[in-house]
Each structure stands twice: as C-alpha cells, then as structure tokens.
Structure 1
Amino acid sequence: MAQIVLFENIHPSAREVFTAAGLTDIATYSSALPSAEIFDALRGAELVGIRSRTHLDADLIGRLPALRAVGCFCIGTNQVDVNSAMLRGVPVFNAPFSNTRSVAELVLAEAILLLRRVPEKNNRVHLGHWDKSAAGAFEARGKTLGIVGYGNIGSQLSTLAESLGMRVIYHDVEAKLPLGNARPAGSLQDLLAQSDVVTLHVPGGKATENIINAQALAATKRGAILINASRGTVVDIAALHAAVQSGQIGGAALDVFPTEPKSVDEPLDSPLRGLLNVILTPHIGGSTQESQENIGREVAEKLVRFFQSGTTKGAVNFPELPYQDAGGNRRLLHVHRNLPGALGSLDNLLAEHGLNIVSQRLQTQGEIGYVITDVDGEVSDIVMAALRAHPITVRCDLV
C-alpha cells in the first residue's frame, strides 16, 4: 500500500514537496471516501493528508498501526480525533495561516455586496426588473465593522477594512494587540450593539456553539449585516432565519454550516435558502488557487520534516520539538506515557544495548512525552523491539 495517502483533491504543490524529499509512493483521491472504503485506502499508510470532509475518528485511527502523522490541508482539525491520535503517538498538523488572505478578502467583498444590496438587485435584474433605487444601500466607508475573534484572519480583515475607511472594533476572549486604529469592544454585546457589519472568526467547539443565538441577534444593531466564515456551529440558523425575515438583520453571508453536503450534487439543507439578502457559499473561504497552493506546500513540508527528522513544530496535539540537525548515526523518536522516570528508563535501556546518546530533546504535553534521541551505534531490530515492548512506550520509530 502507499506510504502517503492524500484525499479531497489536495493541491499538486503537496506532491511536489513529497517527491522533492524522495517520498514518491503516493496515492491520491479526488474526494473523501465513504466510511466503508476509507480503511482499505489507508491500510499501511504512514502519512495521511485530508481536508474538511474526511473524518478520522478514534476507531479508525486505532486500526492504523502504521500511521505516523496526519496533515489537515486546511485551518481546522475538528475532523480528526486529535486526542486519540496523540495517545497513539500520531501528531496532527494543519495550515493555520496559508488561507488567511483569501478568507479576509471574501468576507470584505461580501460586506460590500450586502451593504449595497447587490444580491437582491442582481436577482431582480435576472427577473427582468430595472430597480435603480438607492434605498437601503450604503457605502462601506464610515461604517463600523465588528470582528468577533481577532486572530490571524480577523486581524488581517481589520487592516483591509480600515483601508476602505471603516471603523473597526473587535472582541476576543484573549487580550490581543490591535492593528492600525482598531479598538477592542468592552464585550460581545457591546460589539453587537455598535456594529453595522458583524463578522465571525472564532474556533469551533462547545465554547463557541451558538454564540450568535436569538438573544445575541436581538442585541445586534437593527439592520446590521452578519457574516460567518468560521465554523457552522457558531450561529443558530433558525434564529438567524427569523431575524432576517423580521428585518432585525439586514443581510447575512454564510460560508459554513452546522451540517454541510458531502458531495457536489447533494443540496444544502437550510431555511436560509431563497432569502434574497443572504449569500450562501459552499465553504470556499480558503478556496483560491493561491491559498490552496500555499496550504499544500505548508502542510506537506511539516509532514516531511516530521517523517525525516521527528520535528513536531506546529503540531496541534503533540509536544512541539523544533528541527535540529542529527548528532549521531541514527535518530530515535520515542513517545511515552508522561510518568516519572520515563526518560531514565529509556536511557537505561539504550545503555544496556551499548548505544551512546549524542543529543536528546524532551517535551511533554498532557498524558504523553516525546523525546528525540540521537545515538551512536547500531540500532538493531532487537533494540527497537525492546524499546517498543517497554511498558512506558506509546510508540517508537527510527529515522
């Protein structure tokens, strides 16, 4: 079976990185596979690349003993049981920065289109109406943009919006240094009350589930625009539908949804379909040629560095160890349970087999520890078997 398996039409730049590193045993799939087929496709794979539609749950990860690392060729990693992967010694990498600009540009474009009521005007022209009225249409200049989540995308959107003359306020659960003239709002409610356009850039999970609900929408400035390009679970869709129909929300744009179609021909099931002042896009915030090329290269490079040297910098679920040139004949990658004496046990075992430690780096995270050890001497199959059989070992590989 293939050493590397890539799903969902990952950009060719990833293959270029792998082949340049001498990793040429690659299988590619243009889409996600049904759950009944994915195990056979992954059997024996060491590196796996996915996007948002391929799900790797605990059961599947547990049935893939050869799996060494997962690359999510996107920002999110919710489609992977990252904790189960960690407990099996499998780091998960993603691309938190490569599509930042693409998402920010889409959000700003949607804000302008909705402020000018372009979706409604466009539909009326297609139906044969020449409606030139300026009623309800506004410039972006001078309007207040409220950014919920001032991370990589939110902060870049902030600078782009300011260049149009917008006033920018933001809310984040962490203290963030503002860029340009942006200012933090006192609270989410304060931001909602002030903003002409509200845009969401927060992670998924229980902490952000339905943070934009009926109560939040009622607290929003009447006629404001709401844009969600973060996670589908952040907005209560039924509440948004009611707020748009009542005029409390003047327009909306959504690129993500609580439940998304799994194929091109499956329709989106949403009450928002058919509303003329709502833009619905099929999770394309990062879908530009530039961003996909950057993502392909970024994640593939992380996977190659791990596969060839054990580097885990940028892993979302794993102790992070940066790149360092090899200091001995061979390099051991040892993942162990994070218990007292773990490193001593490893070192004693190596000494028993006559291996001299040249350099060693250790980092722990939660229940596991990860140590890269460069040694002089022959690391035989007997040594590897002893390391893997030790009660404290989670996983041990040789590079």
Structure 2
Amino acid sequence: MTPVRALFLETLHPQATEILNAADIAVDNRAGALDEDELIDALKGVQLLGLRSKTHVSERVLKEARDLIAVGAFSIGTNQIDLAAAARLGIAVFNAPFSNTRSVVEMALSEMISLTRRLPEHNRQMHAGVWSKSAIGAHEIRGRTLGIVGYGNIGSQLSVIAEALGMNVIFFDNAEKLALGNATKMPTLEALLAEADIVSLHVDGRPGNSGFFGPQRFAAMKEGALFLNLSRGFIVEIEALKAGLESGQIGGAAIDVYPVEPKAKGDAFSSPLQNTPNVILTPHIGGSTEEAQRDIGIFVATRLRDFVHNGSTSLSVNLPNLSLEVPQGSHRVVHLHVNVPGVLAAVNREFAEHGVNIEGQMLATRGELGYVVTDISDGLTDDAVEALSNMQATVRLRVLS
C-alpha cells in the first residue's frame, strides 16, 4: 500500500495527528490557512486534508490535487468545501456535526447574560477609570423570550438549557423540527422577530443564506432587542446591524463570525462594529474550547483513518455511507461509481472473468453516486484492477490490502 500523507491546517488538536500517526499516516501540521494557489502547491503527493473554516477548497483545488482522497472539516460547517465537485472526483468529505455543540451553546448563553446586564459597557467604563454602578438597563434573563433562528443541533440544545434558566423559547426553522421542552415553533421568521427579546442565529452556511439578515430583518425586531450571531459571518449585513445599534433599534449584539476573517492568529482585524457600545466581538471562538477541539480532532481523524484503511464512508457528507469493519479477505476493493442500473452486475462480472472469488460485498447509493465494497480472497490481478478502473461508470477505484 502506498504510504499515506496528510496535511493539517489551522492548528488542529494534536490528538488528531496522534490518531493518524498510529495508523502509519504521516501528518504535516501548519498553523494558518492557505489561499487557493498555496493549497494546490501544498497538496502535491498528499492524500488527506484537514482544515477548519478559513481554508477554502474550491473545484480548482480538488481537480489539481490528484492524490487527494479525503477532506476532513474539523468543524460543523462544510460550506468552505465544494462538496459537489469533491463527490464528482471521488473525494470523501467528513465533518464533526456534534462535537462542539455544547461549547457554542455555553458561549451564546454567557453572551446573553452579559448583554442583558450590559457588562461590556460596565467593563469598558471601569477600565477607563469610571465607577459605573447602576441598575439602569440591566435585566435578568429569566422570563425573557429567546428567539432561536435555526433549530439544528446547536439551536435545539440552546433551547433546552435556556428554558432551564427560566427563559421562554420560541424558534423558527424552514425544516420541520420537533420542539423540545416547552419551546414554541413560530409560523414565520417575522413572527419570531416581533416577539423575541433576544435573537440568536444558528443557521447553516449554504450560499443561499448570504445576506440572510439585513435591514428589513433588523427593523422587524422588537425595539431594544439583543442580537447574537455565532453561525456564519456572511449571513448578516454588518452595516445594517451597526445602523440598528446606533439608532437604538438593537439594544446590543454579540458577534463571533464575520464576512471576512483573518487567516491566522495575530493577524490584523477590522470591523465597523469596533468600539460600539454594548457589543461583544469575539474571534470565531464559539467552538474553541479545549474539550470541543479534542472531541472534534478525535471524531474527524477517526473518520479519515477508517476511510483510508477500511474504505468506511460512515457519516461522509458527500458520498454514499457505509460503515465497514476490517476486511474479511486478502484485499478490499472500493468502487465509487455513477449510480446507473447494472453497475454491480458489471463489477461482479469482471471479478468472475478474472477468476476472483468474492468473500463479502456491500453496496450503498446516494443521489448520483453508488459505492460498492468487495472483500476478495487471493487472486486479484492487475488486469482485473485495470478492467474495473476502465468501466464507463467508474468514478474512483481503490484497492486496500
């Protein structure tokens, strides 16, 4: 088996490297993000790529990275990766959909309390040498209404914990979601905005959400309501938020993500929201706790390791999902193909014509792709591999020993 190399960007948790190293996979760790040309150059001879949210993996990168077989997004979101192009090229993509949920929820709650008590303003004045003791504008969060926009893993867990703190919870999601506890699903986003004392965004990073929250949405909020965004930077129009804060329509805000973010720690940062009263700005650290980063590192690195050695695509976001154990035979042949009728029969016909005995076989499909994994005994020849590779429906073929 050809030695496998991995490139890890954006300072991933060291346990991820340990997991791959233990599986005889060499890892090159780099601290910051890379732009398109830098990434293409760095991926020469690399089979696995690990990153967070700042490195963008375009179709051009994927086409140029001829050795790449899998990408691990050490984050919840995968909008930084062209998933469709990766699927067409037979490159698996994995993410960590649950691992940092608790960390983001705890940060959102802490920011709600801070803004409701106007702690950013008190902190600023105290650092300036002004004794700012006052109860004006300060409230408890108990009894206040939290409006959650996006009721996925993070939004739903935030709902449960906020309710336990005595908040009334309402939510809006385009998809049909089960309300947890006493949370109430609102019929429209506008209905939620009109009622919520605090609005917290937890929507995904699909391109259609760009500019999702702009002037009209801020104008629809209750006067003096608080606004939080710990999801994706490009979904909020920052200038519209600033205008709402300056007019008093928005009583305070906590922002963790931005339309454009620096590539590495220590780089310069600029935002129109800087030095705005009752605003908390954080550097995309919602999921940046040691616990979350450790769990993410373990989860995604394990998916990459299993894909390399077993062909397992369990929880891949772009390929058919098969959860696989150690190969039953001498070889495992993994065949990603266009999902058209007759492919499985054609694969088995090639095995039969080349005298290959099948020990076990599994098939999964997902949209336009099919994934067949075949364990075979001795007898796999180069001619058989070539015949399978040259099938019209073949997207990618790998032989695992």
Question: TM-score normalized by structure 1?
Answer: 0.96
What is the correspondence of 1:176-191 to structure 2 with a 5 Å cutoff?
Answer: 176-191=177-192
State yes or no: 1:113 paired with 2:114: yes
Structure 1 residue aligned with 2:376: 375
Say whether the 8 Å CA contact 1:92–1:315 is kept in structure 2. yes
Distance 1:270 1:90 in 2: 36
What is the correspondence of 1:88-103 to structure 2 with a 5 Å cutoff?
Answer: 88-103=89-104
Structure 2 residue aligned with 1:253: 254
Please state how far the C-alpha of 1:23 moved relative to its aligned partner. 2.0
Structure 2 residue aligned with 1:199: 200
Distance 1:276 1:45 in 2: 47
Distance 1:325 1:263 in 2: 39
The one-letter code of the counterpart of 2:70 is A
Percentage of identical aligned residues: 48
Distance 1:38 1:196 in 2: 44
State yes or no: 1:31 paired with 2:10: no
Say whether the 8 Å CA contact 2:32–2:263 is kept in structure 1. no
State yes or no: 1:262 paired with 2:263: yes
Please state how far the C-alpha of 1:45 moved relative to its aligned partner. 1.1
What is the correspondence of 1:279-298 to structure 2 with a 5 Å cutoff?
Answer: 279-298=280-299
Q: Secondary structure at the match of 1:137?
A: coil
What is the correspondence of 1:269-348 to structure 2 with a 5 Å cutoff?
Answer: 269-348=270-349
Structure 1 residues 265 and 13, CA, compared in 2 at 3 Å: closer, same or farther?
Answer: closer
Distance 1:75 1:123 in 2: 33
Please state how far the C-alpha of 1:325 moved relative to its aligned partner. 4.6
Please state how far the C-alpha of 1:329 moved relative to its aligned partner. 2.4
Please state how far the C-alpha of 1:193 moved relative to its aligned partner. 0.9
Render the CA deviation track for 1:311-344: whole Å, top value 9, x for unaligned.
1111111111122453332111001122222222
The one-letter code of the counterpart of 1:269 is S
Question: Given the alignment, which residue of 16, 21, 26 partners 2:18?
Answer: 16
Distance 2:147 2:103 in 1: 19
Structure 1 residue aligned with 2:396: 395
My pick for the range that moved more, 97-106 or 346-355, is 346-355
Distance 1:205 1:174 in 2: 14
Distance 1:306 1:124 in 2: 54
Q: Secondary structure at the match of 1:141?
A: coil
Structure 1 residue aligned with 2:87: 86
Structure 1 residue aligned with 2:364: 363
Distance 1:308 1:375 in 2: 15
Q: Secondary structure at the match of 2:273?
A: coil
Distance 1:324 1:276 in 2: 55
Number of aligned residue pairs: give it: 398
Structure 2 residue aligned with 1:240: 241
CA RMSD of aligned residues (A): 1.5
Structure 1 residues 2 and 378, CA, compared in 2 at 3 Å: closer, same or farther?
Answer: closer
Distance 2:207 2:393 in 1: 33
Render the CA deviation track for 1:67-91: whole Å, top value 9, x for unaligned.
1111111111111111111001111
Distance 1:163 1:367 in 2: 44
Please state how far the C-alpha of 1:264 moved relative to its aligned partner. 3.1
Structure 1 residues 369 and 2, CA, compared in 2 at 3 Å: closer, same or farther?
Answer: closer
Distance 1:296 1:266 in 2: 24
The one-letter code of the counterpart of 1:330 is H
Please state how far the C-alpha of 1:179 moved relative to its aligned partner. 1.9
Say whether the 8 Å CA contact 1:87–1:367 is kept in structure 2. no
Q: Secondary structure at the match of 2:308?
A: helix
Distance 2:367 2:35 in 1: 33
Q: Secondary structure at the match of 1:3?
A: strand
Distance 2:54 2:210 in 1: 20
Distance 2:54 2:241 in 1: 25
Structure 1 residues 33 and 261, CA, compared in 2 at 3 Å: closer, same or farther?
Answer: same
Say whether the 8 Å CA contact 2:117–2:139 is kept in structure 1. yes
Render the CA deviation track for 1:32-84: whole Å, top value 9, x for unaligned.
23443323321111111111122221111112222111111111111111111
Say whether the 8 Å CA contact 1:337–1:367 is kept in structure 2. yes
Distance 2:374 2:122 in 1: 65
State yes or no: 1:61 paired with 2:85: no
Distance 1:40 1:383 in 2: 33
Please state how far the C-alpha of 1:296 moved relative to its aligned partner. 0.3
Distance 1:158 1:290 in 2: 21
